[in-house]
Amino acid sequence: MSTRLTVPTAHPYEVVIGNGVHDQLRGLVGADVRRVAIIHAPTMAAQAARLRAPLAADHLEVHLIEVPDSEQAKTADVLAFCWKVLGGAGFTRSDVIVGLGGGATTDLAGFVAASWLRGVRFVNVPTTVLGMVDAAVGGKTGINTAEGKNLVGAFHEPVGVLCDLDVLAGLPAREMRSGMAEVIKCGFIADPTILDLVEAAPDAVADPTSSIVAELITKGIAVKARTVAGDLHETGADGSIGREALNYGHTFGHAIERFEHYRVRHGEAISIGMVFVAELAHRSGLIEKDLLDRHRAVLSLVGLPTAYLRPGIWEALSTTMRLDKKTRGDQLRFVVLEELAGPTILAGPDESVLVDCYRAVSS
């Protein structure tokens, strides 16, 4: 059994969620394709070979492009390496890129597809909870620079996404927890039933084979699909917060990632970032203390960090945040809650309040 969710953008595509759905890759690749490049991390080499076999049996020319693991893949040098492989193989606009792996791999693969010949088709095959719920859906692609995370990229939507839940059984516990941060984020900004599920069965959330995990992933993807459909390019043109809501916890979280040279998992940093902006919303008079406390409680239930015990580095984090994509001029902007499932933008908060929020999560 599988679930299909449509991302109803100008060029709609389906996200297929279930066990054993990798065998649907051939249908997503398309009938007119001659060459397929599967971009994957070293840990996904065996899975890449399994994906390759039926494509090759159908007389497609399949190239396996191995890239570094995690955020080390998202560099200009790795991007150029991928271009070199595509150029050597004679990739044309009718050929297809497949991104197999976690969020960093699918971010890179999407940008390779967006930049090669000004845009070729690509399919995402995420292999982590984080990749399924966040990176693989929505068409945000990109790489990092020395100055910050995801500062170079493009909006380029996949033609389909395959979320095979079977692969989660092999995930390390820390990776499962990290991915759940993005799921819980969706609960705070849009679908509180996610929080209810986590609170009711925290032990099941740690079991990648549980029906609760499948339900949480499906709900998280549904939030992402609805949100990006209304504001694909994050313009907020209709006057609403739009897609920016998905950045809840990310401004402070990305600063932590950058400062720690990505040794802290994305979800761990975003978990702390959500507590930071909950503190900011509470201290700015937007939410009550019980909603602030619920952030710490729910995130702690699944073993995610709610504090960043690095006092004395506010200036470094603040400098990094000012390079965040949500910043306008010199004005910091944060996604915060006015109420549960009621996100908004708080622009230019007082520096002293931000320092107090930092102290609250660093001690």
Phi-psi region of 249 (alpha: psi -120 to 50; beta: other; left: phi over 0): left
Four-residue CA torsion sign, 122, 125, 131, 137: positive
Element (DSSP H or E) covering residue 39: strand 35-40
Strand 333-339 and strand 160-164: the pairing is: unpaired
Q: Name the binding residues for Zn(2+).
A: 182, 250, 266
Residue keyed to tokens 């008079």: 285
In 3D space, the residue among 348, 182, 327, 341 whose CA is nearest the CA of residue 280 turns out to be 348
DSSP 272-341: HHHHHHHHHHHHTTSS-HHHHHHHHHHHHHTT-------TT-HHHHHHHHTTSTT-BTTB-EEEEEEETT
293: phi then psi, degrees, rounded to nearest 5: -65, -35
Distance (Å, whole) CA 276 – CA 21 = 38
Beta-carbon contacts of 306 under 8 Å, excluding residues fewer than 6 positions away, are: 271, 272, 275, 295, 296, 299, 300, 361
What phi, psi does 125 have (nearest 5°)? -125, 80
Strands 140-145 and 148-155: antiparallel
3-state secondary structure of 208: coil
Q: Which of 23, 69, 73 is nearest to 50 (CA)?
A: 23
Amino acid present at 50: R
**How far is it, in rounded angstroms, from Cα 360 to Cα 276?**
8
Binding-site residues, in ranges, read 103-107, 127-128, 140, 149, 182, 250, 266
Q: Which residues line the annotated binding site for NAD(+)?
A: 103-107, 127-128, 140, 149
